[in-house]
Amino acid sequence: MSRPADSAVSAASAVSAVRTYIEQHRAAFLDDLAEWLRIPSVSAEPGHASDVRRSADWLAAKLRETGFPTVEVWRTPGAPAVYAQWPAADPDAPVVLVYGHHDVQPAAREDGWETEPFEPVVRGNRLHARGAADDKGQVFFHTLGVRAHLAATGRTAPAVTLKLLVEGEEESGSPHFRALVEEHAERLAVDAVIVSDTGMWSEDTPTVCTGMRGLAECEIRLYGPDQDIHSGSFGGAVPNPATAVARLVAALHDDHARVAVPGFYDGVLELTDRERALFAELPFDEQRWLRTAGSHAAHGEAGHTTLERVWARPTAEVNGIGGGYQGPGSKTIIPADAMVKLSFRLVAGQDPDQVEKAVRAWAAQQVPPGIRCEITFGAATRPCLTPLDHPALQSVVRAMGRAFDRPVRYTREGGSGPAADLQDVLGAPVLFLGISVPSDGWHAPNEKVEIDLLLKGVETSAYLWDDLALHWRHGP
Amino acid sequence: MSRPADSAVSAASAVSAVRTYIEQHRAAFLDDLAEWLRIPSVSAEPGHASDVRRSADWLAAKLRETGFPTVEVWRTPGAPAVYAQWPAADPDAPVVLVYGHHDVQPAAREDGWETEPFEPVVRGNRLHARGAADDKGQVFFHTLGVRAHLAATGRTAPAVTLKLLVEGEEESGSPHFRALVEEHAERLAVDAVIVSDTGMWSEDTPTVCTGMRGLAECEIRLYGPDQDIHSGSFGGAVPNPATAVARLVAALHDDHARVAVPGFYDGVLELTDRERALFAELPFDEQRWLRTAGSHAAHGEAGHTTLERVWARPTAEVNGIGGGYQGPGSKTIIPADAMVKLSFRLVAGQDPDQVEKAVRAWAAQQVPPGIRCEITFGAATRPCLTPLDHPALQSVVRAMGRAFDRPVRYTREGGSGPAADLQDVLGAPVLFLGISVPSDGWHAPNEKVEIDLLLKGVETSAYLWDDLALHWRHGP
């Protein structure tokens, strides 16, 4: 899990050259990043549409300045993406696509920010701003990374053919991303995708993530009486949709907290003993994790640890439930309708379309006579997973190990992202290289990035292209 | 069940005199009622507090005008009640208290009203306005009723000592009603209470109600994580309060739709065979009843008919449920909390305090580790029931039979009212005289009263006092 012994000397000299280069350029790098972070590229807010476009243009200019010979802003029906390409000199070198996004979550001072979210502030080792970690900082470390790579190796082009795709709608569910990738599939053809939009275990424990869960979401709405009716006049004698929705949700899990929808687990790729052992090696403090969650108990599928539950097991969660009177006091009605919003996290081997079918069939069976059921599914996200022994994954592990000078361990990500679309459309494995830590506050007030970890990201990026070119070749 | 044969002639002349009087005064009566209905006396909305007071003052003035020698507005810590008294000439005449309320349910045009809820409109035989049936119309028919009684009999005082108590907080659960009755218990001492805040079977089938269900209400709030948390990062591994609240609700009933709270049925007075037979005699069309409910199936406790379920069986209903994200689209969170509002209808023999204890004990047992539970009970209403052979009940049956010229049958009321407090505090039987029909839309948009039934209410009231004085005497 660290540098190979046979290249120890050249590796040591490469490390030294890379570190020197980064040290020389760190101030300008942080200044540039701060300039980007000042652009409030909030994709969810229509009023910020021009800022999202400005953010794309800013990045495109910066990538040209970095040296990418091809840089384009790709329009979509929503916010634009930025594409850049830098061919390797060797036509047999691996072709790699770096994925990230330049849009950010909404943020306002009054949400609890100690400083203006779009006015970057350095406090100690921390750079605070919306997007510092998610995801501008982690996109941006590749710009200094590739320059450090060139400087340290004396190359004029990267050791791999490097492509970058930085989308502008990730925080809005990437509604046009798959179509964009399909449209440009030929130009985007790659051997591997490197996603820099995740995190690592902790400051002390560098990790690479090997997969993300997928996501299927639905709203189930149950209709009872044509309007709210008096619970005195009718109570006890007609079906109540709020009771029905509760019984539906109660039937979603069995007594072992397994999802009770028939067929839900079909195809699930079970964890191997080695993967379970690797998860168990991580310095996981469940009590501390619960404090991070603000939760007061661990609870989940029987027979699995907490990490297995959040990373490698499919789940069904209630995101919202509602029906009838929810104001102060009481109102003695049988409500006309009630609804529940469910999200299903999916793991490798599960097919969102099959899950949707299974949920629809199950729900239809749960609904009692006199209650009408409407189910709406949103766009799904597929799960993705790269095998532990994949050569490109091992390159990421080695590059990261060299940058951090520590053993690199393995994680997965419980959340979901558009990475799976890249895997699907491009037929390439997806690898995750992220240096964010759990305290960075993604989607929360006072988001930050740890500056020394950000520079370790630069360093990892600087080592990665050489390592990939050394251990892997282009082609099927 | 109709007029006694020995008084057929005098009864016929009384009927003629009453009907003539009512016909002469009907226009003014309806105009007056419309004026009262224009006052939006919504007790649940603090912004309408002055309207509720105005409604009390309006009624007090009208009762003075009607001839009641004593009329008082009784303040409470909430909305005021109106009290009026008119002594019979005969000190041995029965003493009767009429109960009703002058506050109304909230109503707004945008709830689905075809016209302004506080701008009464006559369409055909129907008077539409919030409060037309529940309960201003049914309080108000007694004013013309007593005048018709006096005119037809040539009396200057009613045949019974008539007391009226019209409260202003019924739609808010009558929080100060019991204390008010206790405070004035001596002045309110009566032989029987006539509640005019219920309905009858249908336009064609006059009925008297012999009892009401009681009511206990609570809100159960379950707390999970300290704030909403990401369902990708934590989903499947911590308890979800929305799931927990759904499982709690699902556990509320067994598979036979019986309430599964241990001890809930303790003390329940089971229906006699005669009562079941009387219920079964009613021309009950379940499909039509379902259309009235706007419901699409009958469903309830196994082993009981629909009428038994709504009138004579205790129930548990969800009035509202809520937690997490309920807006458009999706939000992948585990919510911080979720709640359910439950109401329990109680029947004779059940004690609200015991029910509260049983529900608290049951809920505490359902809540999983890591979830905190808070339960708040509102003020409860006791059930009440008058024996079928009570002489005052038989007077109501005869008066109604005379007004409607049809046999009068027996019902019960599934809803709840403060009548039980009157029964408790005053030690008097409670009788129900109501002319509202199921289509009147209590608590719903476009509430109305059938004008010809309203006038039959006037007529019943006009006959009742004579019949009571003839068949019953004051005293224990």
Interchain proximity A333–B315, CB inside 8 Å: no
User: Residue B212: closest CA among chain A residues belongs to which residue?
Assistant: A232
Which residue blocks in A306-348 are alpha helix, DSSP H?
306-311
Are A320 and B325 an interchain contact pair (Cβ–Cβ within 8 Å)? yes
What average pLDDT does the segment B361-386 reach?
A: 94
A-chain residues near B313 (CB < 8 A): 236
Q: Enumerate the domain spans of chain B.
A: 5-212+384-471, 214-268+314-377
ω before A351 within 30° of 0 (cis)?
no
Note whether B5-212+384-471 and B214-268+314-377 share their fold: no
**Phi and psi dihedrals of B253, rounded to 5?**
-125, 150
Eight-state DSSP code of residue A271? P
Q: What's the count of helices (H) and strands (E) in chain A, helices before strands? A: 13, 18
Contact: B294, A368; criterion CB under 8 Å: no
Cβ-proximal residues to B369 (8 Å cutoff; 6+ apart), any chain:
A296, A297, A299, B239
Residue type, A238: V
Counting residues of chain A whose pLDDT is more than 70, the rounded percentage is 98
Task: Write out the two tokens for B120.
Answer: 């009464």
Tokens of B348: 């004779």
Residue written as token pair 């951090």: A404
Mode of pairing for the β-strands spanning B333-334 and B409-413: unpaired
* Band of residue B356 on the pLDDT scale cut at 50, 70, 90: very high
A320 with B300: Cβ contact below 8 A: no
Work out the pLDDT band at B148, boundaries 50, 70, 90.
very high
Mean pLDDT of A169-194: 94
Contacts of A230 in chain B (CB under 8 A): 415, 442-444
CB B349, CB B365: distance < 8 Å: no
Q: Note the pLDDT of residue A9.
A: 52
What ipTM goes with this model?
Answer: 0.86
Coil, helix or strand at residue B188 = coil
Facing B297 at nearest CB: one of A231, A326, A369: A369
With contacts defined as CB-CB under 8 Å, which chain A residues touch B333? Answer: 319-320
Which residues, in sequence order, are bridge partners of residue A339?
A221, A322
Is the pLDDT higher at A112 or at B239? B239
CB < 8 Å to A44, chain B: none
Q: What is the mean pLDDT of residues A59-85?
A: 98
Residue B281 identity (one-letter amino acid): E
Residues in chain A: 476
| pLDDT given at position A419 | 83
Chain B touched by A175 (CB under 8 Å)? no
CB of B175 within 8 Å of a chain A CB? The answer is: no
* Closest Cβ opposite residue B320 in set A296, A310, A326: A326
Does residue A66 have a pLDDT over 70? yes
* Residues in Cβ contact with A240 at an 8 Å cutoff, skipping those fewer than 6 apart: A224, A334, A335, B317, B318
Parallel, antiparallel or unpaired: strands B192-195 and B430-432: parallel
Q: How far apart are CA A223 and CA A232, in angstroms?
A: 20
> Given this model, what pLDDT does residue B476 score?
64
Contact A395, A194 (CB under 8 A): no
Question: Is the distance from CB of B191 to CB of B395 less than 8 angstroms?
Answer: no
- Please state, in angstroms and rounded to a whole number, the distance separating the CA atoms of residues B138 and B420: 19
Q: How confident is the model at residue A14 (pLDDT cuts 50, 70, 90)?
A: confident
Q: In angstroms, rounded to a whole number, what is the distance separating the alpha carbons of residues A471 and A160? A: 11
Nearest to residue A441, comparing CAs of B224, B414, B233?
Answer: B233
Does A233 contact B442 at a Cβ distance shorter than 8 Å? Answer: yes
Residue B371 corresponds to which tokens in the numbers above?
């979830």
User: SS3 string of chain B?
Assistant: CCCCHHHHHHHHHHHHHHHHHHHHHHHHHHHHHHHHHCCCCECCCHHHHHHHHHHHHHHHHHHHHHCCCEEEEECCCCCCEEEEEECCCCCCCCEEEEEEECCECCCCHHHCCCCCCCCCEEECCEEECCCCCCCHHHHHHHHHHHHHHHHHHCCCCCCCEEEEEEECCHHHCCCCHHHHHHHCCCCCCCCEEEECCCECCECCECEEEEEECEEEEEEEEEECCCCCEEHHHHCCCCCCHHHHHHHHHHCCECCCCCECCCCCCCCCCCCCHHHHHHHHHCCCCHHHHHHHHCCCCCCCCCCCCHHHHHHCCCEEEEEEEEEECCCCCCCCEECCEEEEEEEEEECCCCCHHHHHHHHHHHHHHHCCCCCEEEEEECCCECCEECCCCCHHHHHHHHHHHHHHCCCCEEEEECCCCCHHHHHHHHCCCEEECCCECHHHCCCCCCCEEEHHHHHHHHHHHHHHHHHHHHHCCCCC
> From CA A275, how far away is CA A270, in angstroms rounded?
10
Percent of chain B at pLDDT > 90 equals 86
User: How many Å apart are CA A82 and CA A120, to the nearest integer?
Assistant: 23
Which amino acid is residue B312, in one-letter code? A
Q: What is the pLDDT of residue A13?
A: 82
Task: Give the pairing type, strands B337-346 and A430-432.
Answer: unpaired
Which pLDDT value is given to residue A279?
96
CB nearest to B297's CB, from A238, A249, A310: A238
The reported pLDDT for the residue numbered A476 is 65
Return mean pLDDT, chain A: 94
C-alpha distance from B334 to closest chain A C-alpha (Å): 6
CB of A379 within 8 Å of any CB in chain B?
no
Q: Which of residues 74-103 of B touch A (CB under 8 A)?
A: none
What's the pLDDT score for residue B438? Answer: 83
pLDDT of amino acid B47: 95
- What is the rounded distance in angstroms from the CA atom of residue A333 to the CA atom of residue A324? 7
Tell me the DSSP string of B227-260.
S-EEHHHHTTTS--HHHHHHHHHHTTB-TTS-B-
Query: Measured between alpha carbons, how far is B312 from B385 in angstroms, rounded to an integer?
Result: 10
Q: Please answer yes or no on whether B246 and A247 come within 8 Å at the CB atom.
A: yes
Q: How far apart are CA B105 and CA B43, in angstroms?
A: 7
pLDDT in tens, B394-427: 999 999 999 999 999 999 989 887 788 899 899 9
| Amino acid type, A200 | M
The residue among B249, B213, B226, B195 whose CA lies nearest residue B366 is B249
Contact assignment for B250 to A249 by CB distance below 8 Å: yes
A219 touches chain B (CB under 8 A): yes
Nearest CA in chain A to B221: A326
List B residues 289-348 in contact with A (Cβ-Cβ < 8 A).
290, 293-301, 306, 309-310, 313-315, 317-326, 329-336, 338-341, 343, 345
By CA distance, what is B246's nearest residue in A? Answer: A246
**One-letter amino acid identity for A291?**
R
Predicted confidence band of residue A5 (pLDDT cuts 50, 70, 90): very low
Instruction: For residue B301, list chain A residues with Cβ-Cβ distance below 8 A.
Output: 236
Q: Examine the pLDDT at B138 and tell me if it is beyond 80.
A: yes
Q: In B389-429, at which residue ranges do the beta strands (DSSP E only) sit? A: 409-413
Question: CA angle at residue B417 from B200 to B315, to 5 degrees?
Answer: 85
Given a contact cutoff of 8 angstroms between Cβ atoms, the answer to whether A189 and A196 are in contact is no
Chain A, nearest residue to B341 by Cα: A330
Is A229 close to B445, i.e. CB distance below 8 A? no
Contact B231, B334 (CB under 8 A): yes
Q: Which of B401, B343, B349 is CA-nearest to residue B2?
A: B401
pLDDT tens for each residue of A395-446: 999 999 999 999 999 999 998 888 888 998 999 999 999 999 988 988 889 9
Q: Measured between CB atoms, which of A249, A310, A413 is closest to B234?
A: A310
Q: Is B458 left (phi over 0), alpha (psi -120 to 50) or beta?
A: alpha
Q: Select from 3.40.630.10, 1.10.150.120, 3.40.1350.10, 3.30.420.40 the CATH code of B5-212+384-471.
A: 3.40.630.10
The pLDDT tens digits of the residues spanning B51-60 come to 999 999 999 9
Sort out which chain B residues have CB atoms less than 8 A from A240's CB and list them.
Answer: 317-318
| Nearest-by-CA chain A residue for B215 | A232
Nearest to B225 among A249, A295, A315 (CB): A295
Which chain B residue has its CA at the smallest distance from A213's CA? B232
**Which residues in chain A have their CB less than 8 angstroms from residue B242's CB?**
249, 318-321, 340
Measured between beta carbons, the chain A residues lying within 8 angstroms of B310 are 233-237
Residues whose CB is less than 8 angstroms from the CB of residue B338 and which lie 6 or more positions away in sequence, other chains included: A321, B221, B222, B224, B241, B242, B244, B245, B321, B322, B323, B324
Cβ separation A310–B237 shorter than 8 A: yes
| Model confidence at A1: pLDDT above 70 | no
Residue B5 pLDDT:
44
Contact criterion met (CB < 8 Å) for B310 and A339: no
- Using CB atoms, which residue from B306, B322, B414 is nearest to A321? B322
Please, is B369 exposed, middle or buried when counting C-beta atoms within 10 Å of its C-beta (0-12, 13-18, 19+)? exposed
- Cβ distance B415 to A372 less than 8 Å, yes or no, reads no
Reported as a pLDDT band with limits 50, 70 and 90, residue B139 is very high
Residues of chain B found within 8 Å of residue A294, distances taken between Cβ atoms: 225-227, 229, 336
By Cβ distance, the residue of B213, B330, B334 closest to A378 is B330
Q: Do B236 and A333 touch (CB under 8 A)?
A: no
Averaged pLDDT for residues B35-57:
97
* A214-268+314-377 CATH fold: Alpha-Beta Plaits (3.30.70)
A-B contacts (CB, under 8 Å): 321
pLDDT tens-place string over residues B294-345: 999 999 999 999 999 999 999 999 999 999 999 988 888 999 999 999 999 9
B-chain CB neighbours of A293 within 8 Å are 225, 229, 233-234, 238
Give B-chain residues touching A342 at CB under 8 angstroms: none
Cβ contact (<8 Å) for B238 and A335?
A: no
* Closest alpha carbon within chain A to B173: A330
Enumerate the residues of chain B whose CB falls inside 8 A of the CB of residue A369: 296-297, 299
Q: B residues 17-56 near A, CB within 8 Å?
A: 44
Q: Please say whether the beta carbons of B331 and A217 come within 8 A.
A: no
Residues 6 or more apart in contact with residue B217 via CB below 8 angstroms: A330, A332, B173, B319, B341, B342, B343, B344, B377, B378, B380
Give the closest of A225, A242, A372 to B320, CB-based: A242
Could you read off the pLDDT of A220-279 as tens digits, one per residue? 999 999 999 989 889 999 999 999 999 999 999 999 999 999 999 999 999 999 999 999
B369 at interface of A, judged by CB pairs closer than 8 A: yes
Check whether B6 has a pLDDT greater than 50.
Answer: no
Burial of B247 (C-beta count, 10 Å sphere; 0-12/13-18/19+): buried
Nearest Cβ partner of A319 from B251, B324, B438?
B324
- Among A458, A449, A469, A459, which residue's Cα sits nearest to residue A405? A459
How high does pLDDT run on average in chain B? 94
Of B224, B297, B317, the CB nearest to A235: B317
Using a CB–CB cutoff of 8 Å, tell me whether A376 touches chain B. Answer: no
Q: What is the CA radius of gyration of chain A?
A: 24
